[in-house]
Chain A
């Protein structure tokens, strides 16, 4: 069974702190995506990484795809209350559907 593990499961921090969220699997992915979901809403795509070792930046968010394309990390610098939400990673294997991790629930307190 394919499995994407995310850690930590929950994270509560103060505004201005930095944090890193991890997504790990034993499977190799052709691409990996990160989504953010706010309460009562559907997930919204943040970024897609495709190449091993790739790093993408989206304002204060930095996404990295592992060299072997089995894992990824999301780093947030100087977190703000607006970053609060559920962060989901999803991996795509060749000719197969996306598989999602359980997510990391982030709470940023003012």
Chain B
């Protein structure tokens, strides 16, 4: 298996549930990202991990908690979400960000619905 794989593809959860999104990359990249894509908004960068260290947190609410145990795996732990958090959550990987000619490879996304 190659590329960036996200699971699950679809998730429906209640506001009191706890769930986790998983991302795995087999491209040998050093950086991994979580993006949120909502209707009528540009892709919103949530978190960046570079060599397993979190380098960016774009003012994301604490009900979203990322985890990066190694350069190949990235998780997004979800807790007490709101209906407005319903969106497509995309994981991506790349070589070191900002180093020039950084190309992002995306997973297929997890379509999250909060009820």
A88 on the interface (CB 8 Å rule)? yes
Contacts of B101 in A (CB 8 A): 30-31, 48, 50, 92
A73 on the interface (CB 8 Å rule)? no
Contacts of A30 in B (CB 8 A): 100-101
CB pair A41 B108 closer than 8 Å:
yes
CB pair A92 B102 closer than 8 Å:
yes
Please report whether the interface of chain A is mostly helix, strand, loop or mixed according to DSSP: loop
Please count how many residues in chain A sit with their CB below 8 Å of the partner chain's CB atoms.
27
Q: Which of B33, B43, B109 has the most chain A CB atoms inside 10 A of its CB?
A: B43
CB pair B98 A88 closer than 8 Å:
no
A97 and B42 in contact, given A42-B4, A44-B106, A90-B104 (Cβ under 8 angstroms): no
User: Which chain A residue lies CB-closest to B50?
Assistant: A97
A102 and B98 in contact, given A43-B106, A45-B104 (Cβ under 8 angstroms): no
A42 and B109 in contact, given A101-B42, A102-B42 (Cβ under 8 angstroms): yes
Q: Interface range on chain B: under 10, 10 to 19, 20 to 34, or 35 or more?
A: 20 to 34
Closest CB-CB distance, B9 to chain A, in whole Å? 8
CB pair B48 A97 closer than 8 Å:
yes
CB contacts under 8 Å to B, within A24-60, are 30-31, 33, 35, 40-45, 48, 50
A31 and B100 in contact, given A42-B90, A42-B109, A97-B48 (Cβ under 8 angstroms): yes
Contacts of B42 in A (CB 8 A): 4, 100-103
Which residues on B are within 8 Å of A, measured CB to CB? 4, 6, 33, 40-43, 45, 48, 56, 90, 92, 97-109, 111
Closest 8 CB pairs of A and B: A42-B106, A95-B98, A100-B43, A102-B42, A30-B100, A31-B101, A43-B106, A96-B98
